[in-house]
């Protein structure tokens, strides 16, 4: 397929490269010349504007920083420039309301569209092992699924438009709570005289086991390799966790959902990110 890919940052660059490896003709655009050069080296055809990248594309994939930019790109560069009938996939993490609005407007212009935010971080984007949570009609999902499969290990239809974003922010709120709890437990174990590896060996096969411990351990030298073994280089930066937690709590307030732990995790990560926003979110253990 001819696929326009707009947004070639830490995540998008690896995703676009995996589409090339899967045999697709990827038409890439980003505001960063460095990102465009990397995409060209990965086999993408690069363009000077998003409109040019979308011209003649059978699909458009976007990976952008926030909902305002997503709307601007779709209003100005995608609608009317990508051929009518193209399938559109927004893999950004944005608020649910904006995702639903963009899908409603693009569908009115003759496109099929899904919101398909990701879980997995930079390493998974480069390796093609992301998880995609997808919102949209059955038809749009069926068209988007083969494209997403080229970039991920799991592609899950979450339901109607916006439900991909809903799943993403709920998942990351849970992740934040778990990571803080995992870090507190390791710090407490150490203060009680319990060796970190010994605690890991026990808790990783006991009721305290969770992904933050066994797949992304925040303690250097314990468990599989993680950002902790690279001085907390992300990974998934603390600033991005703050963004997702703010989206989650905003959505919770609008929906009338009680999120006491989620709200507390947001406050903890906001304080951490003021000084250490460039570190991986597992670096929260440095505060303990």
The DSSP secondary structure of the chain, one letter per residue, reads -EEEEE--STTHHHHHHHHHHTT-EEEEE-S-HHHHHHHHHTT-EE-SSHHHHHTT-SEEEE--SSHHHHHHHIIIIITTTSPTT-EEEE-S---HHHHHHHHHHHHHTT-EEEE--EESHHHHHHHT-EEEEEES-HHHHHHHHHHHHTTEEEEEEEESTTHHHHHHHHHHHHHHHHHHHHHHHHHHHHHTT--HHHHHHHHTTSTT--HHHHTS-SSTTSSS--GGGGTT--SSBHHHHHHHHHHHHHHHHHHT---HHHHHHHHHHHHHHHHHTTSBGGGGGGG-
In angstroms, the CA 47 to CA 272 distance is 38
Tokens at 173, concatenated? 């709120």
Q: Which of 2, 168, 243, 266 is catalytic?
A: 168
Is residue 168 among the annotated active site residues? yes
Residues involved in catalysis: 168
């Amino acid at each position: 397929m001819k696929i326009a890919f707009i947004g070639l940052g830490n995540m998008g660059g690896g995703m676009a490269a995996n589409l090339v490896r899967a045999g697709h003709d990827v038409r890439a655009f980003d505001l960063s010349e460095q990102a465009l050069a990397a995409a060209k080296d990965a086999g993408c055809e690069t363009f000077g504007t998003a409109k040019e990248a979308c011209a003649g594309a059978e699909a458009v994939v976007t990976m952008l920083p926030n909902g305002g930019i997503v709307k601007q790109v779709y209003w100005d560069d995608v609608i009317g420039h990508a051929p009518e009938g193209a399938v559109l996939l927004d893999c950004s993490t944005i608020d649910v309301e904006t995702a639903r609005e963009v899908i409603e407007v693009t569908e009115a212009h003759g496109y099929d569209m899904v919101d398909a935010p990701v879980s997995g971080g930079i390493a998974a984007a480069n390796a093609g092992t992301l998880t995609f949570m997808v919102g949209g009609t059955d038809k749009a999902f069926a068209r988007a699924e083969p494209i997403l499969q080229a970039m991920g290990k799991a592609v899950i239809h979450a339901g109607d438009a916006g439900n991909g974003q809903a799943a993403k922010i709920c998942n990351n709120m849970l992740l934040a709570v778990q990571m803080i709890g995992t870090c507190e437990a390791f710090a407490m174990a150490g203060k009680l005289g319990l060796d970190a590896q010994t605690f890991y060996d026990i808790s990783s096969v006991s009721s305290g086991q969770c992904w933050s411990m066994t797949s992304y351990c925040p303690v250097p030298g314990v468990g599989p390799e993680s950002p902790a073994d690279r001085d907390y280089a992300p990974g998934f930066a603390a600033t991005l966790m703050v963004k997702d937690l703010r989206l989650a709590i905003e959505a919770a307030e609008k929906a009338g959902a009680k999120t006491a732990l989620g709200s507390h995790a947001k406050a903890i990560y906001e304080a951490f990110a003021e000084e250490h926003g460039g570190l991986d979110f597992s670096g929260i253990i440095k505060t303990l």
